[in-house]
Amino acid sequence: MSTCPIDDRVIRPIRFIAGQCQMIDQRLLPVEEVWLTYTTYQEVAEAIRTMVVRGAPAIGVAAAIGAWFGARDIETESSWDFFQEFEKVCAVLAATRPTAVNLFWALERMKHFAQSNLDRSVMELKIGLEYEALAITQEDEKINRQMGQQGESLLADGARVLTHCNAGALATAAYGTALGVIRAAVEAGKKISVIADETRPFLQGARLTAWELQKDNIPVTLICDNMAGYLMSQGEIDCVIVGADRIAANGDVANKIGTYTVAVLAKEHNIPFYVAAPVSTIDLSLNDGTQIPIEERDGREITHYKDLQLAPEGITVRNPAFDVTPSRLITAIITEHGVISGNYQSGLEKTVNQR
């Protein structure tokens, strides 16, 4: 794997050094910055499952790298046998988390590359898959910067922007989706301040968004999730911008649990609600959001914070990690190809066909 230039000024959760993949352990941020090294697809699958790496585009990038690791270790001279084994590798990675379609998009792209080149030798397939994984990684950063340029005009100078979860550089290869739009507005010279929902139970807002924005010197105020409505009622929020894990053909959006709540509150207060997501997050195979699989995670994420017990032993817990925001609550969807609003069905189809 070629080495990506390490520019410490740019936050990247995944990096390559000497053919190995290193990922920052996002479970330990913001207190510790620990980089873990990965060399096998099984290790990468576990990193996705346990949220060492998380965020729709970032787990797509991680899955592509994991698939390349798996391909590299397949021992056969038959390209057909190689492809059959490679499909098994991809199946293991696909089983890690069900909601973010970027994971499946990246794996399908890797499988399509291999299946389209079965006339090549196994060695050529392995080299090609390495560069396909690198391309997915490098394209993601470029797409996020394009998305930022498409969306920054929606943020007025002086805007106070509410975010939910982390749709920043840590959720992507670099730059971020929702936070990428914010970064682009700041780079355009606008004074933007962010109000970040802490986003229980995994606290992506408190631990990751706050950390990212502080590093970039972008003003950020942290709030509990249950404070967003009050701040809106006091006129302290000008707009909302969030990421997405899967967008259905009609514009319904699956995103971190609590996003739907924020969208309803924004509608109540006539506050613009924006979603920023790359085309790889759009899933036209699903007519609407009711068909999006919602991940249910371990209840311990709610009853404990690390080793601190927060609830009675044996309490019954629900822990859906995502919810679905109906398109009627969404003001616009920002992609790298442009801003979509109104008739999402046709707008999303046109955008996907531009890919």
Residues that bind ligand LNRAV4D5 (CB under 6 A): 54-57, 165, 167, 171-172, 177, 204, 242-245, 255-256, 321
The one catalytic residue in 140, 238, 245, 323 is 245
Nearer to ligand LNRAV4D5, 1 or 56 (CB): 56
- Contacting residues for 343 by C-beta, under 8 A, at least 6 apart: none
Q: What are the backbone dihedrals phi and psi of residue 155, each rounded to the nearest 5 degrees, phi first?
A: -100, 115
Q: Binding site annotation covers 256? A: yes
- Write down the H helix ranges in 101-223: 101-115, 122-151, 178-187, 204, 210-215
CA 319 to CA 315: how far, in whole Å? 12
Q: Would you state the structure tokens that stand for residue 9, as one six-digit string?
A: 């000024």
Q: Binding site annotation covers 63? A: no
CB of 85 to ligand LNRAV4D5, least distance (A): 28
Q: How far is CA 171 from CA 152, 271, 325, 335, in A?
A: 19, 25, 20, 16
Q: Binding site annotation covers 270? A: no
Task: Report the candidate in 260, 343, 328 with the shortest Cα–Cα distance to residue 294.
Answer: 260
The C-alpha R_g of the chain, in whole angstroms, comes to 20
Using Cβ positions, the residue closest to ligand LNRAV4D5 within the complex turns out to be: 243
CA 210 to CA 194: how far, in whole Å? 9
CB of 14 to ligand LNRAV4D5, least distance (A): 14
Burial of 304 (0-12, 13-18, 19+ CB in 10 A): middle
Active-site annotation holds for 245: yes
How wide is the angle at C-alpha 100 spanned by C-alphas 132 and 214, nearest 5°? 90
Answer whether 247's CB lies under 8 Å from 253's CB: yes
CA atoms within 13 A on the CB side of 140: 34
CB of 346 to ligand LNRAV4D5, least distance (A): 24
Q: Binding site annotation covers 345? A: no
Q: Binding site annotation covers 56? A: yes
Task: Report the candidate in 52, 128, 49, 134 with the shortest Cα–Cα distance to residue 92.
Answer: 49
CB of 235 to ligand LNRAV4D5, least distance (A): 26
Nearer to ligand LNRAV4D5, 130 or 212 (CB): 212
Nearer to ligand LNRAV4D5, 152 or 245 (CB): 245
CB of 97 to ligand LNRAV4D5, least distance (A): 7
CB of 57 to ligand LNRAV4D5, least distance (A): 5
Nearer to ligand LNRAV4D5, 130 or 245 (CB): 245
Nearer to ligand LNRAV4D5, 86 or 274 (CB): 274
Nearer to ligand LNRAV4D5, 129 or 186 (CB): 186
Asked whether the bond before 30 is cis by omega within 30 degrees of 0, the reply is yes
Q: Which residues are annotated as a binding site for substrate?
A: 54-56, 97, 204, 255-256
Q: Which residues are annotated as a binding site?
A: 54-56, 97, 204, 255-256
Q: Point out the residues that are catalytic.
A: 245
